[in-house]
Each structure stands twice: as structure tokens, then as C-alpha cells.
Amino acid sequence: MTTRSTEAIPAIEMRDVTAGSMRDMNHIVARRVNWTLPAGAFCVIGGMQGTGKSDFLFTTAGLIPPVEGSYRLFGNDMPIYTENRLGERLLLGLVFDGGQLFNHLTVSENIALPLRYHRNLTAAEAAPDVQRLLEWAELTPWADSTPGAMGRNWQKRVGLARALMLRPEILLVDNPLAGLDLRHRAWWLNALRELSNGPEWNGGRAVTLVVTADDLRPWRGENRQFAVLQEQQFTWLGSWDAVERSPDPRVQELLALAPASEG
């Protein structure tokens, strides 16, 4: 797989990007986005439900092309569809909200799919990497179960493990904390922090992270960057301090605060 030898090339570089909805490209979710994200960053994009966060993430993942503007992933023009550029496309992993698993396959088989499909490995050849991620995601008891036998909490972990199978350099995660209880929320926050810091099983290499959220409070952290997508506007905020200082009522809404003008 193609890898980056330097962090000088931005992980994400958008210029005047307008993004549409996957269901209807005429429905615009973001207009004229100018965004540069360095490799190794941890970015959280906040937005209320229905603001188009998922569609914007799908554009970032290359599943749908921008309506207007240009987008480059590690210097490669996106979206990438051609097979001769598969290595560049696989630099990016995507975790859907809910996992988007294959219900006729077991948990182990779902996780193994990227290796079996893109690396043409047998189940036995893929087994060591599958077992490593099963253990990391605490999914070993579910290895031979099908997704329908699991709760949504665990299904989302399977989706994450599958997305990590090819060791992507950038990982997009759609609303990972939605609908989770406190135990699973804590696990996700710790797991993504570990990925950002560079887990031992990944050779100590940090993963560039882009996460969407409808509540920014759980994501506060010194090493994270924040943006807001509301009313078709992508607004870069930067650090957590900038989030807390922002007078924008759209930002305050994501902090569960009343606008400053309201007594």
C-alpha cells in the first residue's frame, strides 16, 4: 500500500468545495469549503442532526464527488475511482454510523473482508490480523456471531475494526458516540485517542482522524481541532479554547448552552 514518507503534504486539502447529499446531489450541505488538515491531526466536525455531516464526510471519503471545487487527499485528486490508483484510495478508511455490516457474515468475516478482497488472502492468512483487532476492540466473544445477534454498541466497534484492517493513514468516523451508553462512549474516546497517539500494534504510527459529532463536549482536548457545519457553512474554529470562546450561537448550541444574548 502507498504510504507517506513525510507529513509535509496535507492529509486533506479542499478549495472552494461545495458538497451535495448522497441521495440528491442538488441538495447542498456545504458551500465553498476551504479546509487544510495536516497529517496526524485529530479533527472533530460538529453539527446538529440533519445538517449534512454524514454527506460531507462521504464527500471527504471520496464516495461522492464535490459539486464544485477541488479536493486532494495526501496530494491526490479526489475522488479516486480507477483501479490503478487503489493504493492511494486505501490510504483512507471510513466508519459508517451503525457499522454498515454484512448480516450474513460473522463478526470475524466482516472484519476480514478488506484483507480478503484487496489483498486476496485466505481466511487462514487473514486470521492473525483479524484476531489482533478482535482483541483490541474487545470483540473476541462475538467473533463467530453475526451482527444481528449484537447490540448497536458492539456493531459500531466491528465497523471500526473493519476500517482499520488495512491500516489506513486517515480515518473518518461518522458520529461514533451517537446512541451509546457511558461504557461504550468511554471506550470509543479512549480508542480514538490511542489511534491518534499511535498504537503499538500500528507500529506507533499515528492515524489522522476526522470525527463528526452533534455534541462537542465529550471531545474537549488540547490536541484536537474543531470545526462546525451548520446552515451549509463549514466554519473552522481550531482549538478547544477557540470553541469555548466562540460567540457564535451555532457553536454554543453544540455545547448545550443558551446563546449569549439570552439572559
pLDDT in tens, 68-125: 999 999 999 998 777 777 777 788 999 998 778 999 999 999 999 998 888 888 899 9
Q: Which pLDDT does position 82 carry in this prediction?
A: 73
20, 69: one domain: yes
Query: Are 160 and 137 contacting, i.e. CB atoms less than 8 angstroms apart?
Result: yes
Q: Which domain CATH number covers 191?
A: 3.40.50.300
**Using one digit for the tens of pLDDT, what is the confidence trace for 217-258?**
999 977 899 999 999 999 999 999 999 999 998 898 888 754
- Structure confidence at residue 1 (pLDDT): 39
**Same-domain check for residues 80 and 202:** yes
Domain check: are 181 and 87 in the same one? yes
- Give yes or no: residues 86 and 213 share one domain: yes
Q: Which tops the pLDDT comparison, 157 or 86?
A: 157
Confidence of residue 2 (pLDDT cuts 50, 70, 90): very low
Query: Contacts by 75-80 with C-beta closer than 8 Å and gap 24+?
Result: 75/9, 75/10, 75/13
Cβ neighbours of 183 (radius 10 Å): 8
Number of domains in the chain: 2
Residue 97 belongs to a domain: no
**Residue 104: strand, helix, or coil:** coil
Nearest to 227 by CA among 35, 93, 4: 35
> Which residues sit opposite 228 in a β-bridge?
46, 235
Judge if 160 and 188 occupy the same domain: no
Q: What is the pLDDT averaged over residues 205-217?
A: 94
* Mean pLDDT, rounded, for 120-135: 92
The answer to the question of residue 51 being in a domain is yes
- For residues 66 and 178, membership in a common domain is answered with yes
Residue 7 lies in a domain: no
Residue 135's pLDDT is 96
pLDDT of residue 6: 46
> CA-CA distances (angstroms) from residue 255 to 13, 170, 213, 222, 248?
27, 26, 11, 17, 11
The pLDDT value given to residue 118: 82
User: What pLDDT score does 257 carry?
Assistant: 56
Task: Transcribe 115-155 into DSSP letters.
Answer: HHHHS---HHHHHHHHHHHHHHTT-GGGTTS-GGGS-HHHH
**Torsion on CA atoms 32, 38, 44, 49, rounded to nearest 10:** 30
Domain holding 175, by residue range, is 12-91+169-254
173 and 64 assigned to the same domain: yes
Which contiguous run of DSSP H or E holds residue 18?
strand 12-20
Return the pLDDT at 7.
56
For the entire predicted model, the pTM comes to 0.90
Let me know whether 242 and 183 are in one domain.
yes
Residue at grid coordinates 447490540: 151
Confidence of residue 200 (pLDDT cuts 50, 70, 90): confident
End position of a domain, from candidates 110, 132, 167: 167
176 shares its domain with 157 = no
Q: Say how far apart CA 21 and CA 53 lie, in whole Å.
A: 10
140 C-beta neighbours (distance < 10 Å), count: 13
Pair 182, 243 in one domain: yes
Residue 1 falls inside a structural domain: no
pLDDT at 12: 96
Task: Judge if 198 and 250 occupy the same domain.
Answer: yes
Q: How far apart are CA 192 and CA 176, in angstroms?
A: 10
On the question of pLDDT at 194 being above 90, the answer is yes
- Residue 196 included in any domain: yes
In a domain, 247, yes or no: yes
Q: Give the span between the Cα atoms of 24 and 111, in whole angstroms.
A: 30
pLDDT tens figures, 10-47: 999 999 999 999 999 889 999 999 999 999 999 999 99
Cell digits of residue 182? 457511558
Co-location of 214 and 242 in the same domain? yes
Which of 137, 152, 167 is where one domain is finished? 167
